[in-house]
Amino acid sequence: MISLFNPATPEESKWPRVLGYALAIACLAWVLHDFHIVRALRDMANVDWRWVLIGMGFDILSYVMQAIRWKFLLEPFGKVRTLRAIRAVFAGLFANLIFPLRPGELLRSYLLSNTEEMSFGYVIGSVGVERLVDLVVATAALGVVSLMVDLPRDFRRVADILGVATLVLVTVVVVVIFYLETRMGRQLLQPDAKSKQAPGKIMGALAGLHAMGTAPSFYPALLFSLLMPLCQVFGMWAMMKSYGLNLSFLVAVVVLVVINLGVSLPNAPANIGSYQFFCVLGLSVFEVEKTKAAGFSIFAFLALNLPFALLGFVALLRSGLSLRTMRERVTHLPAELPSRGASF
């Protein structure tokens, strides 16, 4: 799981970063092709700022929900203070805004590990569990919406493939947890001890996964896993309302799922380019004219990221880091992972 979140380091190949920027430029070129800037500026001038503020509020709330979920996931390994989890999440979002290849997941794990004196391996492993849960929720939401909204055949086919892949992945995880529970016994799966009978990073990772998946705190974590995307959908729907896109709440679900899946891979800072591309792609499913969709993608991108630029910067300072020290952490953390115990 950890390899999903590693930003490039100076010693590593620069190709991932170059590819990320090239992808961002290509996406922006497609979005802005035949783009009518005067019409877009007119649409932006006529937005309803009351709905914009509502959309911003729900989007901010969604990441508060994420921090609370994170706290519950980590409960088997120690007590996590909610405010510190929130601070780490927003600091990580700020890092994603200004650095390529999404190093914010790594940075927030480092911050919480330090402030709560918790194993870095457990913390970064919980981020991998978050991504798995998010994938399941997104796939389930897409499946439910596809029963209520008339979607193109190709889109349904992609949704079916994603659903099957997610089901296989979840089945593997459940089987592993069940095997550990029934065949190896609880004594070997204590996350605190890592006994000599169960050495190695793989067993440590499985023990951590088992601890999170079977703990009573996993159930409230699942609840907040539903509240988080619900708040994000409300935020996206409010932004659509503000921009004059009179689309249903279910349309907002589809567009948000398309965006989140599209920007899930590391790319340019703040997902610029890919966010606009997948937003336009999602809206095109519902026959929204391209200039209107492109203008909305740019406006929503700016409006939804502005609060995180401000709140994330404050969270970073409250965490004891400056922009310079954050850059150093982001640069050197990948090289330090083995010494920190980068697996569970």
Asked if residue 311 belongs to a domain, the reply is yes
Asked if residue 7 belongs to a domain, the reply is no
Expressed in angstroms, the distance from the first to the final Cα of the chain is 10
Task: Look at the chain and report how many structural domains it folds into.
Answer: 1
Beta-carbon contacts of 189 under 8 Å, excluding residues fewer than 6 positions away, are: 180, 181, 198, 206, 207, 210, 211
* pLDDT for residue 218: 94
* pLDDT for residue 284: 93
Q: Please answer whether residues 43 and 165 qualify as being in contact, where contact means their C-beta atoms are separated by less than 8 angstroms.
A: no
* pLDDT for residue 1: 41
Asked if residue 317 belongs to a domain, the reply is yes
* pLDDT for residue 186: 53
Q: Please answer whether residues 115 and 88 qualify as being in contact, where contact means their C-beta atoms are separated by less than 8 angstroms.
A: yes
* pLDDT for residue 191: 54
232 vs 39, 57, 128, 131, 298, CA distance in Å? Answer: 27, 10, 20, 16, 17
Asked if residue 5 belongs to a domain, the reply is no
Chain-centre distance for alpha carbon 329: 20
* pLDDT for residue 161: 87
Asked if residue 204 belongs to a domain, the reply is yes
Nearest CA to 301 out of 267, 275, 265, 262 is that of: 275
* pLDDT for residue 329: 83
Structure-block tokens of residue 311: 């709140």
Asked if residue 124 belongs to a domain, the reply is yes
% of the chain exceeding 90 in pLDDT: 55
Average pLDDT, the chain: 86
Structure-block tokens of residue 327: 């850059």
Look up the domain containing 148 and give its range. Answer: 14-340
* pLDDT for residue 343: 52
Asked if residue 8 belongs to a domain, the reply is no
Spans of the chain below 50 pLDDT: 1-11, 188, 193-199
Asked if residue 55 belongs to a domain, the reply is yes
